Structure 1
Amino acid sequence: MTKKQVGEDTPGRLTRTAVIDAALGLLDERGLDGLSGRAVADRLGVRMNTVLWHVKTRARMLELMADAVLSGIDYDGLPGAPLERAAELAGRYRRALLSHRDGAALVTRTYSAEPHTLRYADCLVEALLDAGADERRAAWTAWTVTYFVLGLTQEEQAAPEKSDDRLARAVDTTGHPALRRVLPHLTPENFDQRFAFGLRSVLSGLLV
């Protein structure tokens, strides 16, 4: 079957899920900068109009992709203790982002109000409410946790090789004495420990 023949009747056959799955496959292969609607169409062997029929715009495609990334979050076996549950949810959120190349950058570029995104947010807010936070504090802490995870994970996915010593060469004792003192702790490594430290710092604010 030729590409033209597939494209002629694909809108009725091809599903939005298949389009998003193809887009995620391209994301893993090429990264976010290499993703386009035309590349997705080529991967599926259909016309560009067929892809647009399902996702309308590139921005909408990114929203659906971001939500699909969060479909990888497992909600089974969460801790009963509220703050432990919130921390575990944040960890699972991070793992879902890390499961796709540029996963954090993808989610950061969208404002997705889709089912998987909303489920994660609802579970996180519920844990914070159960921990004793009032409505505003629960909402703002959930934002803070989410922004922290997105920022750190985006850095992790874009981190240079361990052998990259640009920071060490740029920081000198005369111009940056404080940075020089803490330089061993600024290397792009130990992301697990940095994640645990930052998350603990945010959630401990609920106990004040």
Structure 2
Amino acid sequence: MNKSQSEVVRTAMEVLDERGLEAVSLRAIAERQGVRMNTVVWHVKSKGRLLELMADAIVAEVRVDDLPARWDHRAAELLERYRHALLAHRDGAAVVGGTYAPEPATLTLAETLIAALLDGGYRDQEAVWTCWNAIHFTLGLCREEQAISSAEPDRLTEALASGAFPALTRTLPHLLRPSFDDRFAYGLRRLLGTAGESPS
């Protein structure tokens, strides 16, 4: 990424953090930088390409050094760092989850995670599929955490008041108090505890 392109991405990240993903546009970046929109287009080509670069910039905040030696601890720590990078930016999970960006930081994260899984005894296909599952689980949970509003518990309680959903009503206390930290830790334990099992 050249300097001018980096400056466009940095400005886009400022807009994202201040106003959210819906406010990110080539025009908004041009206005903030005090340049013509054609100048922004010259550096990033399109909004789709801008979002790819933004996604990789978010993932670039995930440190891949100083990880634990044991494979499962290494994978869990890497995914924890990934989660923190997503949550560090307003709508960060939506940006990353909405792109397919085989960019340097994204590839480095995948390389490091898959290498940990291979060290744990996963076969090649298992390692790739588990990497995908772990990444998408983390993205999905972070998107929920960033999107949930204080009104959600009341809406859920009202929706279940009819008694038409007995399993949900029975487990309502757990649904109303989502501990994202606990859910994330639980999910990682489930995802990383199946080395050696053949995928169906």
The two structures share one fold, judged by TM-score above 0.5? yes
- The answer as to 2:83 corresponding to 1:61 is no
Amino acid at match of 1:165: D
Counterpart in the other structure of 1:114: 103
Q: Distance in 2 between matches of 1:185 and 1:36?
A: 39
Q: What is the CA-CA distance between 1:187 and the residue it aligns to?
A: 2.4
Q: CA deviation at 1:59?
A: 0.1
Equivalent residue for 1:90? 79
2:132 to 143, 153, 159: 143
Match of 2:60 among 62, 66, 71: 71
> Is residue 105 of structure 1 aligned with residue 121 of structure 2?
no
Residue 153 in structure 1 maps to residue 153 in structure 2: no
Structure whose alpha-carbon radius of gyration is higher:
1
Q: Which residue of structure 2 lines up, in the alignment, with residue 38 of structure 1?
A: 27
Residue by residue over 1:138-181, the C-alpha shift from the partner in whole angstroms, topping out at 9 and shown as x without a partner, is: 00000000000000000000011277411111113620110011
Contact kept in structure 1, 2:123 and 2:196, CA below 8 Å: no
Amino acid of the residue matched to residue 101 of structure 1?
R
Check 1:164–1:178 CA distance in 2 against 1; reply closer, same or farther (3 A cut): closer
Scaled by the length of structure 2, what TM-score is found?
A: 0.94
| Length, aligned pairs only | 196
Partner AA of 2:137 in structure 1: F
C-alpha distance in structure 1 between counterparts of 2:176 and 2:41, whole Å: 43
**Which stretch shifts more, 185-194 or 144-153?**
185-194
Match of 2:190 in 1: 201
Range 71-80 or range 156-165, more displaced: 156-165
Deviates more, 1:137-146 or 1:185-194: 185-194
TM-score (normalised: structure 1)? 0.90
User: What CA distance in whole angstroms lies between the structure 2 residues aligned with 1:180 and 1:68?
Assistant: 42
Structure 1 segments, 4+ long, off by >6 Å, are none
Cα distance change, pair 188–98 in 1 and its aligned pair in 2 (3 A): farther
Shift of 1:189: 3.0
Going from structure 1 to structure 2, the CA distance change for 1:205 and 1:173 (only over 3 Å counts) comes to farther
Kindly, what percent of the aligned residue pairs are identical?
51
Amino acid at match of 1:169: E
Q: In structure 1, list runs of 5 or more residues that go unmatched.
A: 1-12
Runs of at least 5 residues in structure 2 that lack an aligned partner in the other structure = none
1:186 aligns with 2:175: yes
Distance in 1, matches of 2:178 and 2:23, equals 26
Distance across 1 between alignment mates of 2:45 and 2:122: 40
Match of 2:121 in 1: 132
Secondary structure of the corresponding residue to residue 108 of structure 2: helix
